[in-house]
Every structure is written in structure tokens, then in C-alpha cells.
């Protein structure tokens, strides 16, 4: 009978996601080589006679307090900031953090007492688990998990209204401030956040924000912004290149009051036209838009989509997130999700490093990593008492 350390079992979970092994059954088969055992033991710093069975890993994840893993991505990002590896994740000296919710479980049968419920017109009920994600985005195309906040109902059904994204944001904002009390941050969010509660939290924490703005968010304010733009025609920039006409407009002073809260906001929009095709975007911010800053603010605002493309879509389609999270234990579900965030961050850094070639996709890198772990020994010098210093750089853009 083998005894495994916490580090060994968590390392097995991270490697499972890094290598895109699609199920625990396949993980059992993939890890059944002597070389994988040796490499896994070296990486986890403990020696055993056999690789842990995936069910043993799940037994741990069902009992491990999710707070144990919850801050690991934040500590990884903090290290990258300190070593100046995230220069392209800053806007005017502020770390770009985008926030959005994603579904990680959905079923017609109740999963656990914490499930969110959605009742349809035909009487059917869908039971769900969602997660609110804060990710650091980069102009290199990365979306690195920073914090994850579950959106779920209290056990026992003692609540008036279901948990929701905006409630979860209040909890996430408190954790973010505790972990990064002095870090200058700009939050990139969608139109759902446009309102006094979000603005007040940012003001209290000293954060900047760029919030997607649609007329349906605050109709009177949106109409007022468009009216003021007509009165300030000088606040316009236009550029045409390769048949694409780009136009930026801005307001540096847009008062907004809701209840006892008063804010002075900035507003800017961007229109792009190419023949009959047109695209339009608008944002609210507590930056001061001007002819010098409106282009960079627009680029920052549009980076919010990175959380969808480089974040959630990759994890659902490439890492089978919803498949792995289809487990009966809420604690295991949360811990699996957190291990996936750690693995996804490592693979994004690998894909953009000098260790990978320009055309290697995350899927192909996962294949190479798995075959290397199964068949090739890790270099001995990496585990020497005084290993040589190694520096891995980002590849040129």
C-alpha cells in the first residue's frame, strides 16, 4: 500500500490538465509507464512505488479545503509581476484584470444543495454551478487566472434571492484587495457592472475601471453622453488605413448620481467601418479620456474579450472543464476547477516562451508534454543540490 503526499496528488491533477488527458480512466492508462512514475516523483519531490490512482486524487480533492488552492494563482501572478514578466498586462501603470462569470456545471438533476436553479416556461428546472473569474489579460493574448469566486446558494436554502454575479463580485473584490493591497489595478468589465455599486467599490479600493457601456445599462446617462459629444466636436480622432475608417470620441467629464452616490466619469466610444460593415463600442471609465489616451483606453477596453476567447473557451473546449467538473461533490468540483486554472496558466506561459516554436498550439504542446513525461527522463541537473540558474524568456512578439 502506497502513501502519497499532498504535493504528489495535486501535481498529478495539474499534469492531468496540462497534458489535456480527457478523463480519469485515460489518466490511469497514460501514467502507467516507469518513466512517468519517475518524472512524477521527481517533480513532486517524493518517491513512491506506483503512480497514485486517479480515484485517490479525487478522494483528496473531495476533502481538501478549497481555500488551500484558492490563492495559488494569485501568488503565481504576483511572482510574475515582481520578476517583470507581465509588462504587456499594464495600462498606464495599472494591472489589467478582467472579470466575468462562467458556467462549470449544468444538469436537469440537482447536483448539491448549493445549486443555482433556472426554471423554464415549460416547467423544467436546470441546476447549475457558476464561477466568477478575475483574470490578468495581456496584449500577448494571455488570460491568467487571478482569483475564482464560486457563485452558489447557501446550503439549506436559507436565502431570499439566489446568489448572482454582482454579489459574488463584492466577495471577490474584498479578497482581491486583501491579496493586492497596494497594486494599481484597472478592472475591465462588461455592461452588467455599469452602476453605482460597482463604481463605489472601485472608488473605495482606489481601482480604475473600463466598463462596457450600452444604452440598456443606464439609458439616461447614455443619451446624455451622446448629446454632450455633439456639443464637443473637437473631442474626435479619425484615421483611415487600408480602407478601414476608425473614429474615436470622448468626454472627460460626465456626472452621474444614483441615490447618495455621486461620480464624475469619463466616456469614450469607437466606431470602425469597412465598406458596408460597421462596429461600434462604448465605455465608461474613471480614467480621463483625451486625445493622448483614448486609443490606449480603447485597446484596454477591447481586451476584456480575452477572458472569453483565451480563457473560458479554451478551458471548455480544450481542457474538458465541464466534463471534469461533473462530479457529485462540491468541494471536489471547486478544487478541480482551481487545478485547471493553475495548469492553464502554466501552459499559456510555456506556449509564449522561447521553449516553444511559433506555430505550436496549446493542444500540440500538451501532447508533447505527455509523451515526454511518459518516455523521456527529466534532466538530472534540475534536481541537483545546487542546480544551475536557468532563465526562460518570452519569445519575441
Domain boundaries, the chain: 6-63+353-383, 67-313
State whether residue 233 is helix, strand or coil. Answer: coil
pLDDT tens-digit map of 156-201:
555 567 888 999 999 999 999 999 999 999 999 999 999 999 999 9
How far apart CA 357 and CA 390 sit, in angstroms, is: 19
What angle is formed at CA 182 by the lines to CA 179 and CA 183, rounded to 5 degrees? 80
- Name beta bridge partners: 98: 135, 188
Lowest mean pLDDT among 211-225, 254-268, 301-315: 301-315
- 42 sits in the region (left: phi over 0; alpha: psi -120 to 50; else beta) called alpha
Dihedral, CA of residue 316, residue 12, residue 342 and residue 72, to nearest 10: 140
Give mean pLDDT, residues 239-254.
Answer: 93
On whether the CB atoms of residues 285 and 304 are closer than 8 A, the answer is no
The mean of the pLDDT values for the chain is 90
The dotted CATH code for 67-313 is 3.90.350.10
State whether residue 258 is helix, strand or coil. Answer: strand
Return the number of other C-beta atoms located less than 10 Å from residue 355's C-beta. Answer: 13
Return all residues near 374 (Cβ < 8 A) that are at least 6 apart: 30, 31, 33, 35, 36
Give mean pLDDT, residues 51-63.
Answer: 93
Q: Which of 378, 347, 376 is nearest to 364 (CA)?
A: 347
How far apart CA 348 and CA 76 sit, in angstroms, is: 13
DSSP 242: T
Lowest mean pLDDT among 59-73, 153-167, 266-280: 153-167
The predicted pLDDT at position 218 comes to 92
How far apart CA 251 and CA 262 sit, in angstroms, is: 17
Percentage of residues in the chain having pLDDT higher than 70: 93
The predicted pLDDT at position 161 comes to 77
Lowest mean pLDDT among 224-233, 249-258, 292-301, 319-328: 319-328
pLDDT above 70 (res 124): yes
Return the number of other C-beta atoms located less than 10 Å from residue 163's C-beta. Answer: 19
Return all residues near 154 (Cβ < 8 A) that are at least 6 apart: 114, 163
Amino acid at each position: 500500500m502506497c502513501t502519497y503526499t499532498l504535493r504528489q496528488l495535486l501535481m498529478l491533477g495539474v499534469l492531468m490538465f496540462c497534458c489535456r488527458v480527457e478523463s480519469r480512466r485515460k489518466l490511469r492508462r497514460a501514467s502507467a509507464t516507469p518513466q512517468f512514475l519517475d518524472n512524477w516523483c521527481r517533480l513532486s519531490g517524493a518517491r513512491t512505488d506506483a503512480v497514485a490512482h486517479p480515484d485517490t486524487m479525487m478522494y483528496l480533492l473531495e476533502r481538501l479545503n478549497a481555500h488551500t488552492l484558492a490563492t495559488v494563482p494569485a501568488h503565481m501572478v504576483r511572482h510574475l509581476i515582481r520578476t517583470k514578466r507581465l509588462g504587456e498586462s499594464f495600462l498606464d501603470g495599472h494591472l489589467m484584470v478582467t472579470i466575468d462569470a462562467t458556467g462549470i456545471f449544468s444538469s436537469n438533476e440537482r447536483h448539491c444543495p448549493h445549486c443555482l436553479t433556472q426554471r423554464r416556461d415549460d416547467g423544467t428546472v436546470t441546476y447549475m454551478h457558476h464561477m466568477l473569474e478575475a483574470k490578468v489579460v495581456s496584449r500577448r493574448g494571455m488570460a491568467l487566472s487571478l482569483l475564482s469566486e464560486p457563485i452558489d446558494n447557501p446550503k439549506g436554502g436559507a436565502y431570499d434571492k439566489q446568489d448572482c454575479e454582482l454579489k459574488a463580485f463584492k466577495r471577490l473584490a474584498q479578497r482581491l484587495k486583501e491579496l493586492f493591497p497596494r497594486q494599481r489595478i484597472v478592472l475591465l468589465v462588461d455592461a452588467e457592472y455599469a452602476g453605482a455599486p460597482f463604481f463605489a467599490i472601485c472608488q473605495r479600493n482606489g481601482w480604475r475601471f473600463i466598463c462596457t457601456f450600452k444604452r440598456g445599462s443606464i439609458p439616461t446617462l447614455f443619451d446624455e453622453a451622446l448629446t454632450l459629444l455633439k456639443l464637443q466636436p473637437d473631442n474626435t480622432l479619425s484615421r483611415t488605413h487600408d480602407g478601414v475608417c476608425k473614429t474615436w470620441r470622448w468626454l472627460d467629464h460626465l456626472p452621474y448620481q444614483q441615490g447618495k452616490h455621486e461620480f464624475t466619469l469619463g466616456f469614450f466610444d469607437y466606431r470602425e467601418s469597412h465598406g458596408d460593415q460597421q462596429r461600434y463600442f462604448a465605455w465608461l471609465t474613471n480614467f480621463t479620456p483625451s486625445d493622448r489616451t483614448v486609443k490606449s483606453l480603447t485597446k484596454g477596453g477591447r481586451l476584456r474579450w480575452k477572458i472569453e476567447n483565451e480563457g473560458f473557451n479554451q478551458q471548455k473546449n480544450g481542457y474538458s472543464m465541464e466534463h471534469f467538473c461533473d462530479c457529485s461533490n462540491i468541494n471536489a468540483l471547486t478544487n478541480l476547477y482551481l487545478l485547471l486554472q493553475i495548469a492553464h496558466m502554466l501552459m499559456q506561459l510555456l506556449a509564449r516562451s522561447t521553449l516553444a516554436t511559433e506555430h505550436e498550439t496549446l493542444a500540440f504542446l500538451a501532447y508533447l508534454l505527455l509523451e515526454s513525461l511518459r518516455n523521456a527522463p527529466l534532466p538530472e541537473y534540475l534536481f541537483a543540490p545546487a542546480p544551475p540558474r536557468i532563465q526562460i524568456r518570452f519569445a519575441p512578439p
